[in-house]
Structure formats: C-alpha cells, structure tokens
Amino acid sequence: MHLVYADENGNVYDHPELLSLARSADMIMEIMDDELIPLPEGATLVSLPSTKPVALDPDTGEMVALDGMQAVGALLPQGFTRLALPGYVKTDKEYKLPLFGYSAVVWKDGGFYVTAEQCDDPEKWNPDNCDKKELNKKVHDFVERYPENRLYEHLSNCALGYECLTSSNTFLGRWEGGVPVSYSCNAGCFGCISEQPDDSGFVAPQTRMNFRPRTDEIVQIMMEHLTTPESIISFGQGCEGEPSTQAKIIIEAMREVRSRTDMGYININTNAGLTDHIRGIVDAGLDLMRVSTISALDDHYNAYYKPRAYNLKNVEKSMIYAAQQGVYTSINYLIFPGVTDREEEIEAMIEFARRTDLKLIQMRNLNIDPESYMELIPPARSELLGMKQMLEIFREELPNVVIGSYTHVPPESQRRVKPRVGGLA
C-alpha cells in the first residue's frame, strides 16, 4: 500500500517506493489490510494545506517526511466510518485545517483505498444521486410557489450553494428533508459549522439562519414533504442553532400538521439539553429523535459542547423520556480515531446506550482540525482499542442497537402510534 501525496498545485500522485502510514489522534501508525476498502463512490480526495506526508521507507524501516509535498486525505460520503487519519505532520503549527473529516488514503492494486468501514447503505446519501438539473427546477418551482415563505428561500442556498443533501431532499420531496427553525443555541460547540467566534481560528463553512420562522412557513414545508409513509422531515440542521430553543413554534407546527395528516415521520436533531422543551415536543407527536453527542463522559462532552445551563444528565433524561413515550431514539455520534476508541470512552457509551434504551447509533466522522481537538479534550486514561475493534465491541455488547450512519425509519415493531388525524396528540 503505497503513499498518496499531492504537490503544491493539488495534483495527486502515488509514490513508487514509500509506503503509507496513518494517524490515530496524534500517533503515527501502520495501516492493516483489514482496515482498507476501495475508495467509495462519492468520496473526494483533498490535499491538506500546511502539511507534509509521513511515510515508511521499506528498505530502512524508518519514517520519512516529504518536504515540499502535501498529505492527502479522503472525505467519505455518509454510510462510511473513518478508521484512521492521514499520516502527516504540520509545516505550520498555527494553521488549522478546514473543518472536514479526513481519512487516510493509500494506493493499492492499481487503485485508491481508504481506511474505512461501511456501516450503512450509502445509496440515499450519495451526492451523485442528486440530479442537479432536477434540483434547480424544483428549487425554482417551490420558491415561486411560496414567495412569502422565507424558509424555502433560505433552504435554496443550502441546497444549491452548500450542496446540502438534506435541503435538496426538501425540494425533491424524497427521503429525509430538513426544516430549520432556530438562529440561537444553548451550546458553544468547538468547531461549530454554522457559527464561530472571531478569535476561534476556524472559518464556519455554512451561514446560520438569521430569522425566526412563522408557524405557517414551517407547516407548508412539512405538509409538502410528508407525502409518503417513508418520508422524514427533520428539525435541526447544520445551518441553524438548537431547534428546541424554538419549542413553541415547533409544537404548534407539529400539532397543525398532525391534525391534517398522519403520513411520514417527524424527526428532531438536537442536543436534548432542554429537557422540558424536549418533553413538550415529544408530547406533540414526535416520531424520531437524534441526539448529537461526542462522548458519554462529562469532561469530554463539556470541553467540546460548552453547554449553557445544561449537562449530560439533562440529555440522558430527555432521551429516557422520549424512549418511554415510544420515540425511536438515536445518537449522532461524532467519532474520531484515537479518541472514540479509547477504552473508557467505549465503556461509558455502552452504559449510556443501555440506560437510555437507545435504538440506533449513527457513526458520524467528526469534522475538525486534529491538533486543535487534541488540545481541547482530556487526555486518554486507558489504552486505545482501535476503531475497527470499537465497532465490533458495540455490535457485541449492544445487540439490539443498530450501528448505522444516518436516520432510519424504525421497524414496524418500534413505530410510535401517531395521533389520529383531526385530533391533537
């Protein structure tokens, strides 16, 4: 498995002699054959600015760094879990890499391979399955049909400008679509993709919505999308803050929609810290809830999320309540090689999943500058087990929890009874 690297112009090469190495957190490591899969369809190769690749010289057995070259990583599509970071060292210690999830990539058997494991069916979230011409037409049609709905105008930029697949689905009327509602947040997440303080050193790749939508705007989008039994409409997108801070309008919209139709599923992507607000949303007829977390350990969670007036215990209470009411609960688990696979992290998450009656773990590759993240969080207290072994442990210890990558429609036996059309929950 030979080194893949880039020149200063971004041209990608494979090295004829040097072998690839990878990183686990801040440690350089060898790559095992069982950690590699062919580069998935929809993946993107990128060079890492202000880095140089680190490789293994097979003749001497020593690590070497290539001056004047840049390391290369792969950005994986949804459905694939990263097992290792690219092998690199920074040439500028102050430089922060753009907020993406970089995976190690090698050249093997005449093609590109990545350190990853497929945890879900990538078909629905493959960018190649989004027809740009059809999307442009649908965006134009919806914005023209609802000229007073600011949400469609906002989502048009998300779909066409940021190429957000969830927003695109909102216009295409398929699978999981999004309806943002909040410009405020009760957390100060490190590396937030929609809002950054001026002194963070990061550039937010998305612009947060800057208005409070009306209930009728939300209802329009929900009614347009919830047209099939498998449709999912989701509160809580990357372009907004915490949706439960706008619980009042969410509850009003949900009740109005459920008075008209019982079609499809209503989901919320949330940090679940505002337990009273979450209870109200659950009671209004919520079907699915995905809770974002990076850890089940307080010190690690607090360092990353910087929660305001809530803690992990509040999150746990929200999840337990939702599960007791029949909501299909999952976590948006932000994972990172060399951290998530620490023994103490794995043990804590297994116990958290058991206490909350969790149904699904969505393994999501954390988009972050590795050095900044490692400076932020507590040091490891035990050994690293490896990302591949971590996945195996979760499957063994949590046999009733689905290990996936994105929101699923629950099996028939776990579907919540919806309120009758014409009446409130």
d(CA 164, CA 158): 6
**Alpha helical stretches, state H, 49-149:** 132-145
Q: Give Cβ neighbours of residue 403 (< 8 Å, ≥ 6 apart).
A: 119, 361, 363, 391, 394, 395
Task: Indicate the pTM of the whole model.
Answer: 0.91
Residue 425 has pLDDT above 50, yes or no: no
The pLDDT score that the predictor gives to residue 194 is 53
More confident residue, 391 or 183: 391
The pLDDT score that the predictor gives to residue 201 is 58
The pLDDT score that the predictor gives to residue 192 is 63
In 186-340, where do the E strands start and end?
232-235, 265-270, 288-293, 328-335
d(CA 394, CA 146): 46
d(CA 238, CA 241): 8
CA separation, residue 320 to residues 218, 327, 353, 356, 400 (Å)? 27, 10, 10, 5, 16
Query: Mean pLDDT over residues 74-93, rounded?
Result: 96
Name which of 216, 23, 1, 252 is nearest 113 in CA terms: 1
pLDDT band at 423 (very low <50, low <70, confident <90, very high): very low
The pLDDT score that the predictor gives to residue 424 is 44
Residue labelled with tokens 């430089």: 95
Query: Mean pLDDT over residues 121-146, rounded?
Result: 90
The pLDDT score that the predictor gives to residue 42 is 86
Q: In order of start, what are the domains of the chain with their CATH numbers?
A: 2-118 (no CATH), 130-414 (3.20.20.70)
Q: Over the stretch 362-379, which tens digit does the pLDDT of each residue have?
A: 999 999 999 999 999 999
- CA 96: distance to chain centroid? 20
Query: Mean pLDDT over residues 260-267, rounded?
Result: 96
Q: Over the stretch 154-213, which tens digit does the pLDDT of each residue have?
A: 999 999 998 889 999 999 999 999 999 988 777 777 766 555 555 555 555 556 678 899
Q: At what angle do helices 387-397 and 343-356 cross, to 10 degrees?
A: 30
User: Is 233 buried (19+), middle (13-18) or exposed (0-12) by CB count in 10 A?
Assistant: buried
Joined tokens for residue 304 = 């990353």
Name which of 81, 185, 170, 82 is nearest 193 in CA terms: 185
Q: Write out the DSSP string of 84-104.
A: -EE-EEESSTT----S--EEE
> For all residues of the chain together, what is the average pLDDT?
92
CA separation, residue 150 to residues 137, 183, 216 (Å)? 18, 14, 11
